[in-house]
Amino acid sequence: MFRLRFFLSWLLLSLFSFALSAQNTLSTAKIDKLILEALSDFRESNFEKSLIVSRAALNYATIAKNDYFISRSYNIIGANYNELGEIDKAIFFYKKSLLYAKKAKNDSFINMLYNNLGNIYCFEKKQYKIGIDYYKKSLQLSSEIKDSTQVYFTNVNLAWSYFDIGEFDKGYTYLDFVNKNKKFGDDDTIIVSNMLNGMYLSYKGDNEKANEYFLKAISIKKHSLERPDLSYAHLEYSKFLAKIGRHNDAYANLLAYNRITQQIYNDEKLKKASVAGLNLELDEYKRQIDKIENEKDSQYQSLKKSRIIVVLFVITSFILLLFIITLIKNIRFKKKHNLELLKAKEIAEEASLLKTQFISTISHELRTPLYGVVGITNMLLPQWDEKTLCTFTIA
């Protein structure tokens, strides 16, 4: 009977664990699907939908206490705000993402976030020193974990940053690495690498080759969709053409840059995205408030427990003090009683000794005359005959 109960308990526990595991797996898969959907919407410049979906993913990830998915959700939110021009908000969410990526100990994702922060500080805030520091952190980390693709992208970003501040010689070291490792790039980085080569050759005065690289950059399109990197290529090519005196062509490329930019960031998308962004901020504030309230409640409970502990400590200390006082009194009483017993023992031993000495003296004094009487008796006994002894005895 006992074995049957044990088997049934084990079976129920196994089924419960399996169901819980399946539920967690389903939840994880759902969060991952939402994150991928938000990322896809972002890449298609559908910022409104991307923010809504990433918000849902963040809520699920927070409930699941999954630091990696929380980090990915915050990253997409930061990327949306970055594209919407809300730079400070983008930095806030990127740093939140970095915090949770470090908690999850995901070096690859930390690398990407270092690059994202480098991008926003260099190309949006124009704080190149901070941005380049983030890029170098990413380059060091990606080299340590041997992430060749991330090393390639970071070199692209470093070259671009140094070129933007006019330090072409420093930037060329990174561009040279990019040129030698093109196998790690995609269509976007090919556009950028051609653009950077055009910028560097323009700096060196090789206008013919520079023009060739710029033309390569602006001729690349991905799925017939015009990309932000392509708009930058038009902008840099426009600057180059203006420099060499081809002003009409420069103006045409500048118009192409404006057209692409307007196509990506039309007013309707921005308006809808701002509403979604406001709801996202409210959720974030609510999450922060809930966190503060939980911490406050936790602190109150801790304080309450601390008070109980203090009261118990005081009571215990008081009881312990009484016990110590009682123990000291008992020790003193026993010590005094022992002294009295010791004195009584000494008196008894002294009396016993005197008694022994008295008996010894008396017995000695008695034995001395007795020995004389016995001796005289022994001397007289042989002179009596048997008849006399009998008469003496009868008489």
**Percentage, residues of the chain above pLDDT 90:** 29
**pLDDT at residue 395, rounded to an integer:** 44
Distance, CA of 341 to CA of 220 (rounded, Å): 113
Pick the closest to residue 195 from 254, 235, 151, 154 (CA basis): 235
**pLDDT at residue 8, rounded to an integer:** 41
Distance, CA of 196 to CA of 183 (rounded, Å): 17
**pLDDT at residue 292, rounded to an integer:** 58
- Confidence bin at 6 (pLDDT 50/70/90): very low
pLDDT (tens digit per residue) in 148-177? 888 898 999 999 999 999 999 999 999 999
**pLDDT at residue 224, rounded to an integer:** 40
Contact 231, 261 (CB under 8 A): yes
Mean pLDDT for the stretch of residues 361-382 = 72
At how many degrees (to 10) do helices 107-119 and 87-104 cross? Answer: 160
**pLDDT at residue 310, rounded to an integer:** 81
Contact 157, 118 (CB under 8 A): yes
Contact 230, 218 (CB under 8 A): yes
**pLDDT at residue 382, rounded to an integer:** 57
pLDDT (tens digit per residue) in 311-341? 888 888 888 888 888 888 888 887 777 777 7
**pLDDT at residue 297, rounded to an integer:** 67
State if pTM tops 0.75.
no
171 or 21, greater pLDDT: 171
Mean pLDDT for the stretch of residues 178-199 = 86
Q: Is the pLDDT of residue 359 over 50?
A: yes
Mean pLDDT for the stretch of residues 363-381 = 73
Distance, CA of 200 to CA of 153 (rounded, Å): 18
**pLDDT at residue 117, rounded to an integer:** 93
Half-sphere exposure of 65 (CA within 13 A, CB side): 0
Q: Is the pLDDT of residue 98 over 60?
A: yes
Q: Which two tokens stand for residue 259?
A: 């057209």
Q: Is the pLDDT of residue 1 over 90?
A: no
Q: Is the pLDDT of residue 76 over 90?
A: yes
Mean pLDDT for the stretch of residues 187-211 = 90
280 or 27, greater pLDDT: 27
**pLDDT at residue 342, rounded to an integer:** 79
Phi, psi of 385 (to 5 degrees): -90, 175
115-119, 150-154, 157-161, 388-392: lowest mean pLDDT where? 388-392
pLDDT (tens digit per residue) in 201-243? 999 999 999 999 999 988 876 544 457 788 888 888 898 899 9
Query: How high is the mean pLDDT of the chain?
Result: 79
Q: Is the pLDDT of residue 186 over 90?
A: no
